[in-house]
Amino acid sequence: MIILASQSPRRKELLAELVPEFAVIPADIDESVRPNEAAIPYVQRMAAEKAAAITQAYPEDLVIASDTTVVVDEEILGKPADREDARSMLRKMNGRTHWVHTAVVLQKGEQLRQAVVSAEVVFRSLTDQEIDKYLALDEYQDKAGAYGIQGAAKVFVSSINGDFYTIVGFPVTTVYQLLQEFMEEE
């Protein structure tokens, strides 16, 4: 059996395009950033901890875990605590470039495959009214950097350099390639 260690509806939808059947068992881990921890090691650690937590309970199954973070000026922007936190994040990215890093870990028992995929995103200049209107939709909740590129915030993006699905939080091509590697080993 394949287990998706995430409650993200976006990840569930995208994985369903790759494999016909899988279970969804979200991992409950501490997502705190450690002092002086850089973004890529952070997302790698988060994805690995999610995979390990579920693998411990289901060692015979293939676990797929993923984590995404947004970075601006070397500051990691995780999921906003509330609306004001989301507003602050959007203002930091307003009219600027930021990075989105997504780590993926596939684990079955001791077998492990992992990757990190990054994309550069440029936001156009936003008005306070645009930010307020977006925040009123509550789409910022439970999203790294307070936005989802596939939702209403898509109009904030003037350009991307890299894989679109990395920004969504599930780099489909990378997951597919890692799945192929696992299947070849079995």
Q: What is the CATH number of the domain that holds 27?
A: 3.90.950.10
Token pair 């002086």 is at which residue? 36
Say if CB 119 and CB 163 are below 8 A apart: yes
Taking only the tens place, the pLDDT of each residue in 4-54 is 999 889 999 999 999 999 999 999 999 999 999 999 999 999 999 999 999
Q: Please, what is the Cα angle at 167 between 181 and 6, to 5 degrees?
A: 65
Overall number of domains in the chain: 1
Q: In sequence order, what are the beta bridge partners of 72? A: 75
Residues 143-166 have pLDDT tens digits of 999 999 999 999 999 999 999 999
pLDDT of residue 182: 85
At residue 92, the pLDDT reads 97
- Give the pLDDT of residue 7: 87
Output the pLDDT for position 185: 78
User: CA torsion sign, 133 to 134 to 138 to 140?
Assistant: negative
Q: Tell me the pLDDT tens digit for each residue of 51-100.
A: 999 999 999 999 999 999 999 999 999 899 999 999 999 999 999 999 99
Q: What is the pLDDT of residue 12?
A: 95
> Whole domain around residue 119: which residue ranges?
2-185
Q: pLDDT at position 93, please?
A: 97
Annotate 100-162 with three-state secondary structure.
EEEEEEEEECCEEEEEEEEEEEEECCCCHHHHHHHHHCCCCCCCHHHCCCCCHHHHHEEEEEC
Catalytic machinery residues: 67
Task: Give yes or no for residue 133 having a pLDDT over 80.
Answer: yes
